[in-house]
Amino acid sequence: MPRRTGRGSELWDFLLSDGNLGMAIDEVNESHHFSGKHKPNSCTAWVQETKEERIRELRQIIINGFVQKKPKVKRRWDPSAQKWRTISEPAQWPDQYVHHALIQALQPTLMRGMDPYCCGSIRGRGTRRGKEAVERWMEKDPKGTRYEFSGDVYHFYDSLKPEVVMARMRQLFKDRRVLDLIWRIVKDGVLIGAYPSQWFANTVLQPLDQLIRQSGLCAHYVRYMDNLTATGPNKRKLKKLRYLVDGWLNDHDLRLKGDWQIFRIVGKTAKKPLEAPRRGFERPKRRMPDAMGYRYGRGVHHTTKAQPSPPETGYRAIPQAERRREAGSFPHGEQHHIALRPNQALQQCEPVPDFIQGRAHFAGAKENRPGETTKGEPDMDYVFGTEGEIEVLKTKGGTHSDLTGYQQIVQEFPGEKITDNFRVVKKTGSAEDGEGNCYDWYEIDRHYRTIDKSGAVAERVGAIEAAIERGLNL
Using DSSP's 3-state secondary structure scheme, residue 220 falls into strand
Shared domain for 26 and 162, answered yes or no, is yes
Burial class, 467, CB count within 10 angstroms (exposed 0-12 / middle 13-18 / buried 19+): exposed
d(C-alpha 171, C-alpha 106), whole Å: 13
Shared domain for 257 and 319, answered yes or no, is no
126-130, 240-244, 270-274, 345-349: which range is least confident on average? 345-349
The reported pLDDT for the residue numbered 289 is 74
**Is residue 317 predicted with pLDDT exceeding 50?**
no
Find out whether 219 and 231 touch, Cβ atoms under 8 Å: yes
The reported pLDDT for the residue numbered 459 is 75
Shared domain for 342 and 249, answered yes or no, is no
**Is residue 278 predicted with pLDDT exceeding 90?**
no
The reported pLDDT for the residue numbered 325 is 47
260 backbone dihedrals φ, ψ, rounded to 5°: -60, 155
Q: Which domain holds residue 65?
A: 9-264
**Is residue 17 predicted with pLDDT exceeding 50?**
yes
**Is residue 314 predicted with pLDDT exceeding 70?**
no
Q: Note whether residue 186 is domain-resident.
A: yes
* Tally of CA atoms within 13 A in the half-sphere of 143 that contains its CB: 0
The helix (H) or strand (E) run that includes residue 181 is helix 176-186
Q: Note whether residue 204 is domain-resident.
A: yes
The reported pLDDT for the residue numbered 281 is 78
Shared domain for 118 and 236, answered yes or no, is yes
**Is residue 456 predicted with pLDDT exceeding 50?**
yes
Burial class, 99, CB count within 10 angstroms (exposed 0-12 / middle 13-18 / buried 19+): buried
The reported pLDDT for the residue numbered 1 is 55
Which of 229, 249, 264 delimits the end of a domain? 264
Shared domain for 248 and 114, answered yes or no, is yes
Q: What is the mean pLDDT of residues 318-344?
A: 43
The reported pLDDT for the residue numbered 361 is 41
**Is residue 96 predicted with pLDDT exceeding 60?**
yes
Shared domain for 351 and 434, answered yes or no, is yes
Which of 225, 246, 264 delimits the end of a domain? 264
Q: What is the pLDDT of residues 262-272, one digit of tens each?
A: 999 887 666 77
Q: Note whether residue 306 is domain-resident.
A: no
128-142, 181-195, 219-233: which range is least confident on average? 128-142
Shared domain for 319 and 426, answered yes or no, is yes
Q: How confident is the model at residue 366 (pLDDT cuts 50, 70, 90)?
A: very low
- Find which of 36-45, 279-288, 365-374, 390-399 is predicted with most confidence, using mean pLDDT: 390-399
Q: What is the mean pLDDT of residues 283-292?
A: 72
**Is residue 332 predicted with pLDDT exceeding 50?**
no
The reported pLDDT for the residue numbered 121 is 86
Q: How confident is the model at residue 37 (pLDDT cuts 50, 70, 90)?
A: low
The reported pLDDT for the residue numbered 341 is 39
The reported pLDDT for the residue numbered 417 is 83
Shared domain for 112 and 233, answered yes or no, is yes
d(C-alpha 36, C-alpha 38), whole Å: 5
Shared domain for 323 and 238, answered yes or no, is no
**Is residue 388 predicted with pLDDT exceeding 90?**
no
Shared domain for 234 and 324, answered yes or no, is no
d(C-alpha 292, C-alpha 223), whole Å: 9
The reported pLDDT for the residue numbered 168 is 96
Shared domain for 251 and 333, answered yes or no, is no
How many structural domains compose the chain? 2
Shared domain for 184 and 321, answered yes or no, is no
95-109, 314-328, 356-370: which range is least confident on average? 356-370
The reported pLDDT for the residue numbered 297 is 66
Q: How confident is the model at residue 302 (pLDDT cuts 50, 70, 90)?
A: low
The reported pLDDT for the residue numbered 25 is 95
- Find which of 4-8, 89-93, 265-269, 363-367 is predicted with most confidence, using mean pLDDT: 89-93
The reported pLDDT for the residue numbered 326 is 46
Q: What proportions of the chain, in percent to the nearest 5, are helix, strand and coil?
A: 40, 25, 35
**Is residue 56 predicted with pLDDT exceeding 70?**
yes
Output the DSSP codes for 296-352. EETTEEEESS--PPPP--GGGHHHHHHHHHHHT-SGGG-----PPPHHHHTS--PPP
The reported pLDDT for the residue numbered 88 is 93
